[in-house]
């Protein structure tokens, strides 16, 4: 990519810019280990060059000042030799400001008076200040440079391309992240419940971390929003398959979120197991049963099948 070196130069120090997101995802970021970063010499050199440039500017300004003093001195001498009254020149900066503004001094304002008088407010025929015209010319030059660089030669990407590239980089990073931790789909039909302590522990965590308790009560006994998950009555069917599907797709119009959108299949399975484990726990003041009594029609759980499906 043509612009990559520029992007590195400008954005490299901020290791989080999208242009570097890809490399940041694969290689360690600049700030992780600045000393050993491969681009460190480049950055150090740039910094050094910037400092030298700054010093050069400072020295130049001092030199100009000295020069100004000398010029003033020699002009004073010459004026004295010719017997003319000497008017010292201002500093370069003062001269520059005068040039940039070129404002008409108060004493000469009558020369540009338009003769329009509005209750004592008089109109002057002031021209546009030169700094403004320089700026205008600058924008014209900039426009030409922009046209050439962005449109004719395409050395730098336009906004849309820049956006597309950033999206492509982000997609690539997301793809790599997904590839690094593949999501194993859960075959819901093969699921069978067993009281596996590890899964139940994880499911309990999922239940707590996603505030299932805010709608179903911390012990699953139900509250004004969500139904009791501990009884044998179900609105959307009991049994591991139905419960898994209800949690995964939710009952959005009734206020039960579709957890399959935010939780991994494993998390949905784990929390399903946890909900199954609440069966018959009969917490105090549980919500009255809702829906239909669900009776397991399957044969007794076969623990080998469960292990195979996990
Ligand atoms: C914002 C409130 C809310 C949250 C949070 C919530 N639920 Fe629900 N849930 C509901 C409502 C409301 C229903 C009943 C839907 C209906 O009436 O059809 C429900 C129904 C269910 C059912 C089916 C009950 C039945 O009788 O068929 C299960 C299972 C369930 N939720 C599990 C969960 C789990 C697990 C979580 C956390 C991951 C959770 N819910 C988080 C509101 C919520």
Task: Judge residue 167's burial from the number of C-beta atoms within 10 Å of its C-beta, 0-12 exposed, 13-18 middle, 19 or more buried.
Answer: exposed
pLDDT over 60 (residue 299): no
**60 within a domain of the structure (yes/no):** no
Q: How confident is the model at residue 12 (pLDDT cuts 50, 70, 90)?
A: very low
Atom of ligand 1 nearest to the CA of 214: 5
List phi, psi (to 5°) of 73. -60, -50
Q: Whose CA is nearest to atom 38 of ligand 1?
A: 212
92-123 pLDDT, tens digit per residue, is: 888 899 899 988 888 898 999 999 999 999 99
pLDDT at position 295: 82
Q: Is residue 123 a part of any domain in this protein?
A: no
CATH code of the domain covering residue 299: 1.10.760.10
> pTM of the prediction?
0.51
| Closest to 183 (Cα-Cα) out of 263, 69, 122, 109 | 263
Is 193 part of a structural domain of the chain? Answer: yes
* 72 Cβ contact partners less than 8 Å away, ≥ 6 residues apart: 88, 89
Enclosing domain of residue 298: 188-309
Atom of ligand 1 lying closest to residue 234 CA? 26
- Residue that is written with structure tokens 């922009």 in the block: 146
Which residue CA neighbors atom 14 of ligand 1 most closely?
Answer: 226
Residue 15 has pLDDT above 60, yes or no: no
Kindly state whether residue 1 falls inside one of the protein's structural domains.
no
Looking at the domain assignment, is residue 251 inside a domain?
Answer: yes
First to last CA, the chain: 45
Query: Does any ligand 1 atom lie closer than 6 A to the CB of residue 222?
Result: no
Please report the atom of ligand 1 found closest to the CA of residue 236: 27
- Decide: 270 and 244 in contact? Cβ < 8 Å: no
Question: How many separate domains does the chain show?
Answer: 1
With respect to residue 103, please indicate whether it lies within any of the assigned structural domains. Answer: no
Establish if 48 belongs to a structural domain: no
- Copy the structure tokens of residue 242: 């139905």
| Amino acid 298: pLDDT | 53
Residue 278, domain member (yes or no): yes
Average pLDDT, integer, range 210-226 = 94
Q: Which ligand 1 atom is the nearest neighbour of the CA of 263?
A: 38
Phi and psi at residue 113, in whole multiples of 5°? -70, 125
Mean pLDDT of the chain: 85
| pLDDT at residue 207 in the model | 96
φ, ψ of residue 134 in degrees (nearest 5): -60, -45
Q: Which of 193, 211, 216 to mutate to test the pocket of ligand 1 (most atoms within 8 A of CB)?
A: 216
Is the Cβ atom of 229 under 6 angstroms away from ligand 1?
yes
pLDDT of residue 272: 95
CA-closest residue to ligand 1 atom 29:
243
Phi/psi class of residue 116: alpha, beta or left (left: φ > 0; alpha: ψ in -120 to 50)?
beta
Write the burial class of residue 277 (CB in 10 Å: 0-12 exposed, 13-18 middle, 19+ buried). Answer: buried
pLDDT for residue 36? 85
């Amino acid at each position: 990519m043509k612009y990559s070196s520029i992007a590195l130069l400008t954005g490299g120090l901020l290791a989080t810019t999208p242009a570097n997101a890809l490399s940041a995802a694969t290689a360690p970021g600049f700030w992780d280990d600045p000393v050993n970063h491969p681009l460190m010499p480049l950055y150090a050199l740039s910094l050094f060059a910037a400092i030298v440039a700054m010093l050069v500017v400072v020295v130049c300004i001092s030199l100009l000042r000295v020069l100004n003093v000398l010029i003033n001195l020699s002009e004073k001498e010459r004026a004295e030799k010719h017997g003319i009254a000497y008017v010292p020149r201002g500093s370069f900066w003062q001269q520059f400001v005068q040039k940039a503004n070129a404002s008409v001094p108060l004493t000469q304002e009558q020369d540009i008076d338009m003769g329009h008088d509005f209750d004592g407010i008089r109109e002057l025929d002031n021209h546009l200040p030169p700094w403004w015209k320089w700026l205008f010319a600058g924008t014209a030059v900039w426009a030409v440079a922009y046209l050439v660089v962005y449109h004719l030669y395409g050395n730098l990407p336009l906004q849309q391309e820049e956006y597309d590239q950033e999206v492509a980089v982000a997609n690539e990073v997301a793809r790599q992240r997904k590839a690094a931790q593949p999501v194993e789909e859960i075959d819901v039909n093969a699921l069978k419940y067993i009281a596996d302590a590890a899964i139940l522990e994880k499911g309990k965590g999922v239940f707590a971390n996603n505030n299932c308790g805010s709608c179903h009560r911390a012990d699953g006994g139900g509250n004004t929003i969500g139904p009791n998950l501990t009884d044998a009555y179900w609105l959307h069917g009991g049994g591991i398959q139905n419960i898994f599907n209800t949690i995964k797709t939710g009952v959005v119009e009734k206020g039960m979120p579709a957890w399959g959108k935010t939780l991994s299949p494993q998390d949905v399975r784990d929390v399903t197991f946890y909900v199954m484990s609440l069966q018959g726990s009969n917490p105090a003041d549980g919500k009255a049963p809702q829906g239909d009594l669900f009776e397991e029609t399957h044969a007794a759980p076969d623990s080998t099948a469960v292990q195979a499906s996990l």
